[in-house]
Structure 1
Amino acid sequence: MNIKTLPIGSPWRTVLLVIVVAVADVLLSAISIGLGMDSGSVPDPEHSGIEWIRFAIAPILAPLGAVALIWRHRFPKTVAATTAVLGALSFSFTGFFVALFLLAKRRLDWWVAAVIALSLGVETLVGIEPLTWDVALVGVVGLAAISAWGAYRGQKGRTLDSRMLSLRERAELAEVERAAETERSRLAERHRIAREMHDTLAHRMSLVAVQAAALQVDAPDADTAHAARVIRETAHAALGELREVLGVLREKETAQAPTAPSGIADIPALADQWRQAGVAVEYVPQPGLTTDGIPDAVGRAAFRVAQEGITNVARHAPEARATVTLERYSSESNGPESELRITVVNGPSVSGDAAPGAGRGLIGLAERIRLLAGSLEHGPTTSGFELKARIPFTPQADQQNIEATS
């Protein structure tokens, strides 16, 4: 196993380091004692008596320096000092060399010199052979070289980390700037669309409202005045809805409640407005229908289905009779899930000519229903035309219970 292939924070890296250093220190301690016995600097255990104890425990103390390396990152100074003493007592310095390298790698300061001095001092007191000046000089040079190498590696690592941090910050800044530019472009396009809608639709609807008000004042009879009033009120309502859409596009006043009707409770008023405009439309809700627990998104979608269906009737079959039905069903097989069904049917046109249309209304309505996991069906029938939407939903009370259980 190669240490370089292990992650920096991996515990196996520490385990492998401790095992390798412990084995090396035990072997080095045994070799040092054996060479000392051959040279006579270590006394014979049979004749030295109690003096031999410090040589006998040296191989036992040798792996303790490796164990101390477990805390090399948390207490680097203490570990370096401990391994210096243990290395001198066990006649092995592998653990001390590693600790000194890591200490210098972290920061090259007077602590490094102090630990080197401590190691030489303990070696002078308990070493196998007396520490001469030439041996001490070689030791200082060697330990200084280890410290210098550690300091170099530490500085190189810090430089690399700083460079990587700088690159990461630049990448994050570029990502933030790109997202900000995308947001600015999106807002600019939305503002452009809002301006175009304001300059065209809003002005034309205002003009319709003004002309209808003038016609209402100068109407030759009551029926004309009533029709002009309906046109004026419808134009004002359309202007209100248009202002709401423009506010959403410009992201202004989004915290305010919507002013345009857009729920199940508004369908009767919608039908009444179209009746006043001359369309024969009837709203027939399911007997005992309750809107409790129906999500707002589902209610808005149902309103849009009714709105689009009646508008198409007025455009393509203005003399036909239309019926809007709304039904709510609960599914026993799918648990708490329910389904809302809204249908707009009309008979054949008697004499009215169909107004031109682009067909985008049904496309957008189908997308709205599909986002709610529902379905939209429309097409001619034997007696006219039918628009039918099915929207599944989970009642809000049941949804809250499900979330609480989860």
Structure 2
Amino acid sequence: MREPRAVPAWWGGRVRSLLFDVGLAGVVAWLGVQNSDLTAAEVGGALVTFAGLVVRRRFPLVAVAAAVVGMALDPYLVPILVAVYSTAARYGPTVRTWVGSAVALGAVQVVVWTNENDRWDPAQLITIVFIALPVVAGLWTFQRQTLLAALRDRAEQAERERDLLAERAVAAERRRIAGEMHDVVAHRVSVIALQAGGLTLTSDDEHVGEVAEVIRTNSTAALNELRDVLRVLRDDADAPPPRHSPALDGVGDLVEEFRSAGAEVDLVLPDAVPETSDVVGRAAYRVVQEALTNAGKHAPGAPVTVTVAASDDDVAIEVANRPAGAARTEVTGSGYGLVGMRERVALAGGTVRSGPTDGGGYLVSARFPR
């Protein structure tokens, strides 16, 4: 439902246009009576002229008729010129413009003829020029407005086409990335899962079998999550929904996965897992996941503590690890983990800080609005 405008659409909803037309009509009507003794006919002609010129934008032919009536009551040519200009400016080179111009010219001829004691002089044809000038000016205004509207439409169309091309380029790039991920990453992870499964079945060492089973389980989970990522990249509406969207209630399972891989992780959760939006829950889950992964890379074997705290206003996540032992074997990372974490937290409306602690460990702390 459209909101009501303070100014009718006749003036484009603009107060300045309304004020301009009222002022113009008032000045034209006032000039017609200022140099003569006011009579009832002159006052009536001025009022009719004023009313017609006020609505000249929306009803220019009404303005022509009002100017003709006003001129019959008080011979004054300026209103008819303004009305003819308004007609040509609104309708352009159409029948209505020519009819309005012809009526105006006929009225002017009659007035001039009457004032010349009912004698017609060929020199009176000069009045055609007085009518033609505002008509030409109005036609120029009409063409200019038409050109500006066409240029505006072309600019809007070009902008829409640019946005469409950008969307197509983004979609094509996403499909290309999805194809690369499927062909490279999915293949490699599938091989790891198959080899770990084979090792689980054939190994005589119970510990090796358990480790192989952990590798197989995590590889299978990685494939499932990779399929969800590929579905998002391809924007496939017909694909089945993801099996599980990461959230705060999945932090416990995430910690158990790291424990099963041999990490020493303590988890501190409130009695009731705080309820958050999907965006906040997913971002908090990824913060814990990235922090635990970094702890395993850069401080293998060091105890890690994951703390989740909630208040009425926000949710706080802290992942702290102690210094690595003497037999430290650091895994080289890509360097994008912390950058991606900050971007994800910022998109969720939260804040994050990370850095070494006084004891030589490392702390990742994030806070999200509830």
TM-score norm. by structure 1 comes to 0.75
Partner in structure 2 of residue 367 of structure 1:
343
**Deviation string, structure 1 residues 102-158 (Cα, Å, up to 9, x no partner):** 44554433343345445655777xx56631122xx544x244323322332232222
Alignment of 1:61-100 (within 5 A): 61-68=44-51, 69-100=53-84
Alignment of 1:282-321 (within 5 A): 282-286=266-270, 288-292=271-275, 294-321=276-303
Task: Report the secondary structure of 1:340's partner residue.
Answer: strand
Partner in structure 1 of residue 28 of structure 2:
21
**d(CA) in 2 for partners of 1:104 and 1:368?**
60
**d(CA) in 1 for partners of 2:69 and 2:278?**
76
**d(CA) in 2 for partners of 1:172 and 1:366?**
36
Partner in structure 2 of residue 378 of structure 1:
355
**d(CA) in 1 for partners of 2:119 and 2:344?**
91
Q: CA deviation at 1:234?
A: 0.7
Distance 1:254 1:320, change over 3 A: farther
Q: What is the alpha-carbon root mean square deviation over aligned residues?
A: 3.1
Partner in structure 1 of residue 120 of structure 2:
133
Partner in structure 1 of residue 251 of structure 2:
267
**d(CA) in 2 for partners of 1:319 and 1:133?**
115
- Tell me whether 1:60 sits opposite 2:43 in the alignment: yes
Partner in structure 2 of residue 112 of structure 1:
101
- Tell me whether 1:214 sits opposite 2:198 in the alignment: yes
Contact kept, 8 Å, 2:287 with 2:341, in 1: the verdict is yes
Alignment of 1:348-363 (within 5 A): 348-349=324-325, 351-363=327-339
Unpaired runs of 5+ residues, structure 1, are: 1-6, 31-54, 331-336, 395-406
Distance 1:391 1:279, change over 3 A: same
Contact kept, 8 Å, 2:263 with 2:303, in 1: the verdict is yes
Distance 1:29 1:81, change over 3 A: farther
Task: Report the secondary structure of 2:243's partner residue.
Answer: coil
**Deviation string, structure 1 residues 165-198 (Cα, Å, up to 9, x no partner):** 2222222222222222322333333333323322
Counterpart among 210, 233, 256 of residue 226 in structure 1 = 210
Task: Report the secondary structure of 2:361's partner residue.
Answer: strand
Q: CA deviation at 1:232?
A: 0.9
Q: Which amino acid in the other structure matches residue 22 of structure 2?
A: V
Partner in structure 2 of residue 242 of structure 1:
226
Counterpart among 129, 133, 139 of residue 145 in structure 1 = 129
Distance 1:381 1:64, change over 3 A: closer
**Deviation string, structure 1 residues 31-51 (Cα, Å, up to 9, x no partner):** xxxxxxxxxxxxxxxxxxxxx
Task: Report the secondary structure of 2:362's partner residue.
Answer: strand
- Tell me whether 1:342 sits opposite 2:318 in the alignment: yes
Partner in structure 2 of residue 45 of structure 1:
none
Distance 1:138 1:355, change over 3 A: same
**d(CA) in 2 for partners of 1:62 and 1:329?**
77
Task: Report the secondary structure of 1:237's partner residue.
Answer: helix
Q: CA deviation at 1:24?
A: 2.8
Which has the higher mean CA deviation after the structures are superposed, 196-205 or 373-382? 373-382
Question: Across the two proteins, how many residue pairs are aligned to each other?
Answer: 350
Q: Which amino acid in the other structure matches residue 108 of structure 1?
A: T
Task: Report the secondary structure of 2:330's partner residue.
Answer: coil
**d(CA) in 1 for partners of 2:62 and 2:339?**
74
Distance 1:156 1:104, change over 3 A: closer
**d(CA) in 2 for partners of 1:138 and 1:326?**
98
Contact kept, 8 Å, 1:342 with 1:388, in 2: the verdict is yes
**d(CA) in 1 for partners of 2:266 and 2:177?**
36
**d(CA) in 2 for partners of 1:115 and 1:359?**
81
Counterpart among 305, 311, 318 of residue 323 in structure 1 = 305
**Deviation string, structure 1 residues 174-230 (Cα, Å, up to 9, x no partner):** 222222232233333333332332222211101101111111221113332222221
**d(CA) in 2 for partners of 1:157 and 1:387?**
70
**d(CA) in 1 for partners of 2:168 and 2:287?**
34
Identity of aligned residues (%): 32
Distance 1:242 1:264, change over 3 A: same
Distance 1:98 1:158, change over 3 A: closer
Q: Which amino acid in the other structure matches residue 279 of structure 2?
A: A
TM-score norm. by structure 2 comes to 0.81
Distance 1:243 1:366, change over 3 A: same
**d(CA) in 1 for partners of 2:100 and 2:235?**
61
Task: Report the secondary structure of 1:319's partner residue.
Answer: coil
Distance 1:64 1:208, change over 3 A: same
Distance 1:321 1:82, change over 3 A: closer
Q: Which amino acid in the other structure matches residue 296 of structure 2?
A: A
Which has the higher mean CA deviation after the structures are superposed, 370-379 or 272-281? 370-379
Distance 1:355 1:342, change over 3 A: same
